[in-house]
Amino acid sequence: MNHQVSSPMSVTMDRPSGRVLVTGALGQIGTELVEALRQKHGHEAVIATDIRKAEGCQILDVMNKKEIHKLVTEQEITEIYHLAALLSATGEKNPELCWDINVIGLENVIAAAKKNNARLFSPSSIAVFGPDCPNIAPQITPLNPSTVYGRTKVVGEQLAMTSGIDMRGIRYPGLISYKAPAGGGTTDYAVEIFHHALKNGYYECFVREDTKLPMMYMDDAIRATIELMDFPLEKLSESRGGYNISGCSFTVGELVKSIQRHLPDFICTYNPDIRQTYADSWPDEIEDDIAKKEWGWSPRFDLDRIVDEMIINLEN
Ligand code: NAD
Ligand code: AKB
């Protein structure tokens, strides 16, 4: 991957030897990752797929093993970003479907990658940690999640090390972005709050004011993903199935205060639901010394900068 070929286009584009496939491309991450990959490799080299229909995106259900094989073989796919999944809130409402899509779907993609010698990026999550994890989560610690969603992510990390392919992942924190809505997770409040603040000046939050979780701006997450995939495999350790990366951690109360710098009349009230228990089972902060040391990870966005970017972009 990523070698320069001697065509005029290669002056600005880093062309993969084959094509790049993105599953779940219409989601919160896919919307921005496809854009970034197309900028890097050229529009034609990146095939966006999802179970939903949209312009510029092919239909591909990751439960359909035969179709995945066909597409990966016919399109000469050499790199896959597998984003199709159910997130924590949707997943806990339908645990069997969550297991099927997140684990069987991943196994289907791994099988196709293996047959075609493709590299694979498959995201993990801070949901791999459970209530026994220290408040500041180390990279290496027992993984005993209390959610089915978290368990599917632990299996994903294990498959990265046992599947025999070049497979990598990141334990993404809650991701904050403005281009696409958050897709049914516990950390969705940190995205929804901006839309409600700007539209109504009011938000009823489904977790408590003192709930503190690791969060990250989407630009940092996309850059981390591409930087990790660009790094030589032999320089990565056994953490490659799911690297801890830290952006910033804050409580909802701190987020509200930061938004009030722009919108002083904004009011947030609190009405915790079942998602509070998922949030309570996850760590407050993430220790990312291994990602920093191994492949040079470094975040760029703190809380106030995220809030400034969100408000400016949603207002326009
Ligand atoms: P999302 O819910 O926004 O997008 C997932 C996409 O997958 C959707 O567009 C959906 O239509 C598609 N999909 C669902 N079932 C499918 C199927 N059977 N076949 C094909 N496509 C299907 O999720 P996201 O936020 O973009 O997350 C992508 C990945 O990153 C997931 O693995 C998620 O667990 C992980 N992650 C996300 C966050 C976050 O805060 N967004 C944090 C940690 C980890
Ligand atoms: C969720 O809340 O489910 C996701 C995640 C942290 O994995 N945003």
- Quick check: 48 and 22 in contact, CB under 8 A? yes
Pick the closest to residue 129 from 138, 118, 120 (CA basis): 138
**Ligand at shortest distance from the CA of 29:** 1
In 10 A of CB 208, how many CB atoms? 16
Active site residue 149: yes
Residue 2 has pLDDT above 50, yes or no: no
Asked if residue 61 is part of any domain, the answer here is yes
Where does the pLDDT of residue 41 fall: very low under 50, low under 70, confident under 90, or very high at 90 and above? very high
Asked if residue 133 is part of any domain, the answer here is yes
Q: What is the CATH number of the domain that holds 49?
A: 3.40.50.720
Question: Helix or strand or coil: residue 97?
Answer: helix
Where does the pLDDT of residue 17 fall: very low under 50, low under 70, confident under 90, or very high at 90 and above? confident
Q: Of ligand 2's atoms, which has the minimum distance to the CA of residue 187?
A: 2
Asked if residue 288 is part of any domain, the answer here is no
Asked if residue 177 is part of any domain, the answer here is no
Domain count, the chain: 1
Compute the distance from residue 173 Cα to the ligand 1 centre, in Å: 14
Pocket of ligand 1 (CB under 6 A): 23-24, 26-30, 50-52, 60-63, 83-85, 87, 101, 105, 123, 125, 172, 174-175, 183-185, 187
* Phi and psi angles of residue 198, each rounded to the nearest 5 degrees, phi first: -75, -35
Q: Over range 176-181, report the average pLDDT.
A: 98
Compute the distance from residue 256 Cα to the ligand 2 centre, in Å: 20
What are the tokens at 192?
A: 């929804």
Name the residue at shortest CA distance from atom 12 of ligand 1. 24
Asked if residue 186 is part of any domain, the answer here is no
| Rounded Cα gap, residues 77 and 56, in angstroms | 17
Where does the pLDDT of residue 16 fall: very low under 50, low under 70, confident under 90, or very high at 90 and above? low
Compute the distance from residue 80 Cα to the ligand 1 centre, in Å: 14
Alpha-carbon distance values, 197 to 99, 174, 177 (Å): 35, 19, 15
Asked if residue 147 is part of any domain, the answer here is yes
Asked if residue 211 is part of any domain, the answer here is no
Q: Of ligand 2's atoms, which has the minimum distance to the CA of residue 88?
A: 3
* Domain span holding position 105: 19-172+216-246
Which position among 149, 189, 217, 278 bears the catalytic label? 149
Residues 182-238 have pLDDT tens digits of 989 999 999 999 999 999 999 999 999 999 999 999 999 999 999 999 999 999 999
Compute the distance from residue 23 Cα to the ligand 1 centre, in Å: 9
Asked if residue 302 is part of any domain, the answer here is no
